[in-house]
């Protein structure tokens, strides 16, 4: 891989501001936010509750539109397609993967069918085979299991495989280890780091779990809507 390729920017925020609520309850979850994430880079986001971390993911994921500033994902300026829910949804489906706290699997579908559904919705090939991806997250042996037959960590692994079906350039992850014990948390975050490197995915992971930050290439901290470098407090 060439150096320029490695440095290719997948996600870029320039002066992004968003206010929510009105009157006395007005908050500014994003206050002039600037940052970039490159291909294959795994970035952690930490910060107190209510700081704006989930809002940051929603804006990066074309789920929410900021009041001002520029948000670019791959070659697309999101604010240019923000007027069209259809265009936003299509772009999101093809280019952005999401992993949520609990895996967010569909209760009635097997692991393999969770992946097949995403492939179908995204207009992927009818020859799509979910097994290699399930294998990559160590879940091929549970391809026919329903979510209720899986442990929390297993569900989370299927959720990660599902987020990678369309080979998205950008992977957005919100609190992936909140429901997991220590050992499983390390495994899940190591898996995210490995998938980022293997597939050149830019991954942004919000977490409260400082023990998993060692897997990140870089950690940023959100405080009161402002994003900056994370400086861990001395122990």
Contact positions vs ligand ATP (CB under 6 A) = 20-21, 27, 29, 47, 49-55
Are 182 and 189 in contact by the 8 Å Cβ rule? The answer is no
Give the residue with the Cβ less far from ligand ATP, 52 or 176. Answer: 52
Give the residue with the Cβ less far from ligand ATP, 103 or 130. Answer: 103
Tokens of 110: 């097997």
> Which of ligand ATP, Mg ion, none interacts with 118 (beta carbon under 5 to 8 A by kind)?
none
Q: What residue spans of the chain are helical by DSSP H?
A: 3-6, 53-60, 78-81, 85-95, 111-121, 131-136, 152-163, 182-199
For residue 33, the minimal CB distance to ligand ATP (Å) is 12
Cα separations in angstroms, 61 against 8, 91, 231, 235:
18, 10, 26, 35
Q: Which residues bind Mg ion (CB under 5 A)?
A: 54
Cα separations in angstroms, 129 against 125, 137, 213, 217:
9, 15, 33, 31
> Which of Mg ion, ligand ATP, none interacts with 176 (beta carbon under 5 to 8 A by kind)?
none
Give the residue with the Cβ less far from Mg ion, 60 or 134. Answer: 60
For residue 189, the minimal CB distance to ligand ATP (Å) is 17
Nearest residue by C-beta to Mg ion? 54
For residue 31, the minimal CB distance to ligand ATP (Å) is 11
């Amino acid at each position: 891989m060439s150096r320029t390729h490695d440095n290719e920017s997948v996600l870029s925020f320039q002066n992004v501001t968003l206010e929510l609520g009105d009157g006395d309850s007005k908050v500014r979850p994003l206050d002039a936010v600037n940052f970039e994430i490159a291909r294959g880079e795994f970035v952690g986001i930490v910060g107190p509750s209510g700081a704006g971390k989930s809002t940051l993911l929603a804006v990066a994921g074309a789920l929410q539109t900021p009041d001002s500033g520029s948000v670019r994902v791959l070659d697309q300026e999101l604010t240019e397609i923000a007027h069209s829910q259809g265009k936003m949804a299509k772009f999101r489906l093809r280019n952005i993967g999401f992993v949520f706290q609990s895996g967010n699997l569909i209760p009635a579908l097997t692991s393999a069918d969770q992946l097949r559904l995403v492939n179908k919705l995204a207009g992927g090939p009818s020859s799509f085979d979910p097994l290699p991806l399930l294998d990559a997250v160590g879940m091929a042996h549970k391809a026919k299991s329903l979510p209720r037959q899986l442990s929390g960590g297993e569900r989370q692994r299927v959720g990660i495989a599902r987020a990678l079906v369309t080979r998205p350039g950008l992977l957005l992850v919100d609190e992936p280890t909140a429901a997991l014990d220590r050992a499983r948390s390390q495994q899940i975050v190591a898996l995210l780091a490995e998938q980022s490197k293997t597939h050149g995915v830019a991954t942004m992971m919000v977490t409260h779990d400082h023990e998993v930050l060692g897997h990140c290439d870089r950690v940023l901290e959100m405080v009161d809507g402002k994003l900056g470098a994370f400086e861990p407090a001395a122990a």
